[in-house]
């Protein structure tokens, strides 16, 4: 929820609809809620900033699947070409996007690398997958709280 609030102004600035589709009721995962929020903000902001569709949409779809909390963040932009997908989580990796008359990608290319490391430290995974929309889709998978330890906070 915090990530949506933070990204709301960016979405309005880019005239992008961000749809939240939750198929999971109050899932609890073990981990640092601030770092998890950072990951969601980074991926949602990327989906907003790099979406070049004529009617841009970002969907955030969450569900419970096999003891995991799974979140897909998908957009209907041009996506990430196959040539970049194997290295998308590498440090300083930036995909060339020709927008606003410039071929220079924005940012330092650290956000996805850092997000990937954060999710791995929470015993989860962050990957690029085929999604429900024609653009990029990033999937975050985190183990659900199993009752052994106290959850830090819900995601």
Residue 67 maps to a domain: yes
**Crossing angle of helices 2-13/33-49, nearest 10°?**
20
Q: Is the pLDDT of residue 103 over 50?
A: no
Q: Is the dihedral of CA 20, 21, 25, 30 positive or negative?
A: negative
Mean pLDDT value across residues 50-65 = 93
* pLDDT at residue 58 in the model: 96
Residue 60 maps to a domain: yes
State the Cα–Cα distance between residues 120 and 34, nearest whole angstrom: 15
Residue 65 maps to a domain: yes
Residue 98 maps to a domain: no
In the chain, % of residues over pLDDT 90: 51
Residue 122 maps to a domain: yes
Sequence-distant (≥ 6) Cβ neighbours of residue 53 within 8 angstroms = 75, 76, 77, 78, 135
CATH code for the domain in which residue 67 is found: 3.30.565.10
User: What's the token pair of residue 23?
Assistant: 């198929």
DSSP conformational letter for 111: H
* pLDDT at residue 115 in the model: 94
- pLDDT category at 4 given cuts 50, 70, 90 is confident
Number of domains in the chain: 1
Residue 68 maps to a domain: yes
Q: Which residues span the domain enclosing 144? A: 2-93+103-154
Residue 136 maps to a domain: yes
């Amino acid at each position: 929820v915090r990530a949506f609030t933070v990204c709301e102004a960016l979405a309005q600035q880019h005239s992008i609809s961000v749809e939240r589709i939750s198929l999971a009721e109050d899932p609890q995962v073990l981990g640092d809620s601030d770092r998890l929020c950072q990951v969601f903000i980074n991926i949602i902001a990327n989906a907003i900033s790099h979406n070049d569709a004529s009617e841009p949409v970002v969907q955030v779809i969450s569900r419970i699947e096999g003891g995991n909390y799974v979140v897909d963040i998908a957009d209907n932009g041009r996506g990430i070409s196959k040539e970049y997908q194997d290295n998308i989580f590498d440090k300083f990796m930036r995909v060339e996007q020709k927008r606003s008359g410039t071929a220079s990608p924005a940012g330092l290319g650290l956000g996805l690398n850092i997000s990937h490391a954060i999710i791995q430290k929470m015993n989860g995974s962050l990957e690029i997958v085929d999604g429900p929309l024609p653009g990029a889709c990033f999937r975050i998978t985190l183990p659900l709280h199993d009752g052994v330890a106290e959850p830090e906070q819900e995601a």
